[in-house]
Amino acid sequence: MASNPPTSDSLQAFEILKDIKPKFAMINEKDFFEHKFTGLKDLPYLDREDVTLYCLTEEEFIFVRTTPGVNIFDTEEYPFVYNIQHKSAEEMLIASHEAVYQYLKTKPERDGSNIAYLHNPGRCGSTLVANMVSKTKQCEVQSEPTPVLNLSLIFNKKDQPVTRESREYLDLIKATFLLLCPDVNKKYFIKPWGIETMSLFPLLHQALPGIKEMLMCRDVRPTVLSFKKLIPEQIYKSIIPMKMSLQPPNYRDLWEKVKRGEGDPDEAFCFFILSTYHAYMEETRDRDDIKSYSYESLIEHKELFTKSFLKEIGVEEEYVQAAMSALEVDSQAKSSSHNQKRTAGVKASVSDETMEWAVKLAKEEFGIELEGEKGRVHNMPHQWNKV
């Protein structure tokens, strides 16, 4: 029996003022300007197509109403959904977790079977794959939706890492994904922010048993190089303490054990990448339903990779050529954040000493076998190949 919808005062709506809109781009910056707004709406307001989840905190969900006619899933202009939401935001809406849980109880029960989710460490071709899926027009694609990152950061700052026994978080995970993917008649594809989101591995399938999960991976050395080329040099050298503070507590503790000196940034990014692969391996010890796909296999076997990947997410083979058309363009070329620092022509290197350290770390701490000068994971489970 469906429960009664929450009362109107459980959801607050605020008009977004144009002169402070740039502040809205920052994650969880609502407190900066909340006092500037007035107004209330009923929770059924969330049923509108132009109202979408923007971010969340430990107490509230934050939504935006965007300009009428704007499709936030259109990756042609921006590859990341938060770019479109920010540019087109007209109104901000805030609701407590409990109010949203009650609202979702008035909806049909769902298990996430229309959602596909691509785990990744970042800089591994995942944005390209998201763009390939978008080209098929068969899925609503959300690339790096902020709420998924918010979820992970909430878990990562706990004193203990989340596990399959952390069932107290399942309602929050389920609500977040159902709000991101509200239409039961559409397929959705979510490519999250990399590095910090590995804490979802043990919980996602429990919250949504029907969700389709995959992992995108890449050889370690070129992945580190890609980060190093992307991030301005001075930031790259100083960012590690902040980035490490956002990791799950078990990986933060391990870094303190294995780092050399104050912590070399190249070694830290090796650590970030290997941590993601380790989290995947831990979750798949007794699961064979999370297939891993590599950037190298995409480049070497474009059509076969595309056929397999589309089949995995439930898209028919007739859309293979449409998906492959994304390989002809730079999937991140129109992202303002990436235009500021394009990787082409930027000189960078990762030393052999760093890779030797990574090989030792991978084997001794993670049970990961790296091979070759590029650091390919030899024992990655459930990996797609062309056979």
Please determine, for residue 18, whether its predicted confidence score (pLDDT) is greater than 70: no
Structure tokens at 328: 């002809």
136, 322 Cβ separation under 8 angstroms? yes
For residue 343, pLDDT beyond 60: no
243 has pLDDT over 80: yes
pLDDT at 337: 42
Per-residue confidence at 19, pLDDT binned at 50, 70, 90?
Answer: very low
Strands 291-294 and 212-217 come out as parallel
Q: Which residues contact 379 (CB under 8 A, 6 or more apart)?
A: 367, 368, 369
pLDDT at 256 over 60: yes
Mean pLDDT confidence for 51-66: 89
Find the mean pLDDT for residues 367-384. Answer: 96
Between these two residues, 42 and 365, which has the higher pLDDT value? 365
The answer to whether the CB of 208 falls within 8 A of the CB of 135 is no
Q: What residues have CB less than 8 Å from 306, skipping those under 6 apart?
A: 132, 298, 320, 323, 324
DSSP string spanning 301-362? SHHHHHHHHHHHTT--GGGHHHHHGGGGS-TTTT-HHHHTT--TT------HHHHHHHHHHI
pLDDT tens-digit series, residues 276-294: 999 999 999 999 999 999 9
Angle at 157 between CA 247 and CA 225, to 5 degrees: 15
3 state DSSP class of 40 = strand
Per-residue pLDDT of 317-327, as tens digits, reads 999 999 999 99
Query: What's CA 332's distance to the chain center, in Å?
Result: 15
Please compute the mean of the pLDDT values over residues 152-181 and round it to a whole number. Answer: 97
Task: Answer with the residue of higher pLDDT: 19 or 162.
Answer: 162
pLDDT band at 334 (very low <50, low <70, confident <90, very high): very low
- Say what percent of the chain tops pLDDT 90: 69
Q: Check residues 324 and 21 and name the one with the higher pLDDT.
A: 324
Please give the pLDDT value at position 330.
55
Structure confidence at residue 42 (pLDDT): 78
Cα–Cα distance, 266 to 375 (Å, whole number): 13
Predicted pLDDT of residue 200 = 98
Q: Which of 87-96, 315-324, 348-357 has the lowest mean pLDDT?
A: 87-96
Q: What counts of helices (H) and strands (E) characterise the chain?
A: 17, 11
- Measured in Å, how far apart are the chain's first and last C-alpha atoms? 49
The residues facing 66 across adjacent strands are 89
- pLDDT band, residue 344 (cuts 50/70/90): low
> Does residue 9 carry a pLDDT above 60?
no
- Higher-pLDDT residue of 70 and 178 is 178
Q: What pLDDT does 110 receive?
A: 96
Q: What is the mean pLDDT of residues 43-62?
A: 89
User: Distance between alpha carbon 121 and the CA centroid of its chain, in Å?
Assistant: 9
**Which of 163-167, 221-225, 277-281, 337-341 bottoms out in mean pLDDT, i.e. has the lowest?**
337-341
pTM of the model: 0.89
